[in-house]
């Protein structure tokens, strides 16, 4: 597909900040020359985008083709999933505010009690 679109490995390397050697290894399915885990998923996704393939289906196909690879078992987090995972829940914010108010109230009561003595 890459060659049919006249896209060179140098073009992809330039656009993705991947090395030509990494891209060659990917095309040869030589995973021993590539980083593992989510990094490999990222390489596959970037490569697919550059050659005009659907990145998500390419990553899924890759995971099926290489089920023993660590990248296959790590789910992809979209930006929305990441924001949900890192944003405190509304209830958590309320609990934090209540805890701060209670601590301030306790400090105020201790200060008043010490002045009355």
Q: Which residues contact 105 (CB under 8 A, 6 or more apart)?
A: none
pTM greater than 0.85 (yes/no): no
Question: Would the pLDDT of 19 be above 50?
Answer: yes
49 pLDDT more than 60:
yes
pLDDT of residue 4: 80
Average pLDDT over residues 18-36: 90
Q: For residue 46, give the nearest of 66, 32, 28, 26 by alpha carbon.
A: 26
Please state the rounded mean pLDDT for residues 84-105. 76
């Amino acid at each position: 597909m890459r060659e049919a679109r006249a896209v060179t490995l140098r073009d992809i390397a330039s656009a993705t900040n991947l090395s030509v050697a990494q891209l060659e290894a990917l095309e040869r399915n030589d995973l021993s020359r590539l980083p593992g885990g989510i990094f490999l998923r990222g390489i596959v996704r970037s490569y697919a985008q550059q050659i005009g393939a659907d990145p998500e289906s390419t990553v899924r196909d890759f995971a099926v083709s290489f089920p023993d690879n660590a990248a296959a078992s790590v789910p992809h987090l979209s930006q929305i999933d990441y924001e949900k995972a890192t944003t405190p829940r509304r209830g958590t914010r309320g609990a934090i505010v209540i805890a701060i108010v209670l601590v301030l109230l306790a400090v105020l009561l201790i200060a008043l009690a010490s002045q009355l003595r």
